[in-house]
Amino acid sequence: MADSLDEEAVFWIALNMVVGVGKTLFYRLVQRFGSAKNVFRAGRGDLMQVEGVGAKTAEQILDFDFEQSLKRELALVEKLNARVLTLPDPGYPEMLKSIYDPPPVLYYQGTAPAGLPPALAVVGTRRVTGYGKSVTRRLCGDLAGRGLTLVSGMARGVDTLVHRAALEAGGYTLAVFGCGLDYTYPPENRKLREAICRQGCVISEFPVSTRPDRNNFPARNRLISGLSQGVLVIEAGEKSGALITAEFALEQGREVFAVPGNITSPQSEGCHRLIQMGAKMVTGAESVLEELPAEIQSRLIPQKDSAAPLTGLTDRERQLMDLLSGEETHIDTLIRNSRLSAAEVSATLIQLELKGLIHQTESQKYITNSAESR
């Protein structure tokens, strides 16, 4: 890995590791001294002449154990089979370069981010409802199936569902971490992370051994929006972190989309507020796709004929499909309305799930995988 980095890139990685040197100060130092390498050659007095550099920060730079710290960092990168990009690198994502505070250094595993199709961020609450699960699965499956890379934060709730829906649709997905790549957060998503690396990538601006910390996640959110053409919010409480991502999107000149929900649900309050503020209300994938630049629309995969999967169904399967809709339906309701036995309905639902036409949301409730398929 170290062999593929030029000398200045190595110094960028090192400066990015110095405690107290944030993004603004990083660029100010490089501009003042002409290169990251020269920052480490500067004396205490010269460093302290730079706006934002106090005695403590100057000492952090002067005392930085360049050789050992960098050796350890690059060894971890190698161990993880990861790659590093610095802002001047031609492989650095163009969308991210356009934001006002792009990260100086990016670490990633999987496909190089610049090699992925155009991206859309999809975020939402950790406490997702059955409605939110259904909407996320349907919308994200449709969007990924049309050829968009779906970006999210791999958090519990909506984020996890976004990545899974993209993978199930055979599309690409990108997870932005609020920690270094040496960690998986939340830890139960380790298998999901491995799958993402095969169909997209995981990415972080933090040095490899940076632990998950609540203060890192707002910064992570600006990358989620910065990498994307727009941000789609699916269920968000009044103070949800998803709203922070939407705010970053507005600052970065990105489109903001929101899914309406139940007016009595706290998980929909944030989305309704976004819509009141001018976010586009989303009722299906086309609500998003029609707002994308023409150049991206021309590259989308044509929509598949949704009626085709309904051919070859048994009479019972078609009967239950006719009873199901875009709303969750409890198995007891299906038994009552179909006048079939509980065993017959259960067996038929299993067959429909295996055929990919329906899925169970929660507590024996079922819904079609695409409301448009009816």
Could you write out the DSSP letters of every residue in 21-85? --HHHHHHHHHHHSSHHHHHH--HHHHHTSTT--HHHHHHHHH--HHHHHHHHHHHHHHTT-EEE
DSSP 8-state secondary structure symbol assigned to residue 266: G
Spatial distance between the Cα atoms of 39 and 26, rounded to a whole number of angstroms: 10
How high is the pLDDT of residue 305? 55
How high is the pLDDT of residue 124? 93
Inter-helix orientation angle 331-338/315-323, to 10°: 120
- Cβ distance 256 to 244 under 8 Å? no
* Full-model pTM: 0.83
Per-residue pLDDT of the chain (374 residues; tens, 9 = 90+): 555 788 899 999 999 999 999 999 999 999 999 999 999 999 999 999 999 999 999 999 999 998 899 999 999 999 999 999 999 999 999 999 999 999 999 999 999 999 999 999 999 999 998 888 888 988 999 999 999 999 999 999 999 999 999 999 999 999 999 999 999 999 999 999 999 999 999 999 999 999 998 889 889 999 999 999 999 999 988 878 889 999 999 999 999 999 998 888 888 999 999 999 999 999 899 999 999 999 999 888 887 655 445 667 888 888 888 888 667 788 999 998 888 899 999 999 888 888 778 887 777 788 887 543 33
Domains of the chain: 2-72 (1.10.150.20), 113-297 (3.40.50.450), 308-373 (1.10.10.10)
- Torsion angle, CA of 268/274/279/282, rounded to 10 degrees? 0
Q: How many CB atoms lie within 10 A of CB 308?
A: 9
Name, in order, each residue with C-beta under 8 angstroms of 31's C-beta and a sequence gap of 6 or more.
none
- Cβ distance 109 to 164 under 8 Å? no
Helices (H) and strands (E) in the chain, counts: 18, 12
How high is the pLDDT of residue 79? 96
By CB neighbour count within 10 A (0-12 exposed, 13-18 middle, 19+ buried), where does 360 fall? middle
Say how many Å lie between the first and final Cα of the chain, rounded.
51
How high is the pLDDT of residue 373? 38
How high is the pLDDT of residue 371? 45
> b or e along 20-46 (b: 16 or more beta carbons within 10 Å of the residue's beta carbon)?
ebebebbebbbebbebbbebbebeeee
Spatial distance between the Cα atoms of 28 and 46, rounded to a whole number of angstroms: 13
* Nearest Cα to Cα of residue 192 among 221, 165, 220, 223: 165
How high is the pLDDT of residue 3? 55
Spatial distance between the Cα atoms of 308 and 70, rounded to a whole number of angstroms: 56
- Cβ distance 228 to 120 under 8 Å? yes
Could you write out the DSSP letters of every residue in 291-319? TS-HHHHTTSPPPP-TTGGGTT--HHHHH
How high is the pLDDT of residue 304? 66
Task: Name residue, tokens 């050829």.
Answer: 147
Sheet with 119-124, edge to edge strand ranges = 83-86, 105-110, 200-204, 173-176, 149-152, 119-124, 230-234, 255-258, 280-281
> b or e along 196-217 (b: 16 or more beta carbons within 10 Å of the residue's beta carbon)?
bbebbbbbbbbbbebebeeebb
| The token pair that represents 130 in the structure block | 């059955």
Name, in order, each residue with C-beta under 8 angstroms of 206's C-beta and a sequence gap of 6 or more.
107, 177, 178, 179, 180, 216
Element (H, E) at 109: strand 105-110
- Cβ distance 126 to 188 under 8 Å? no
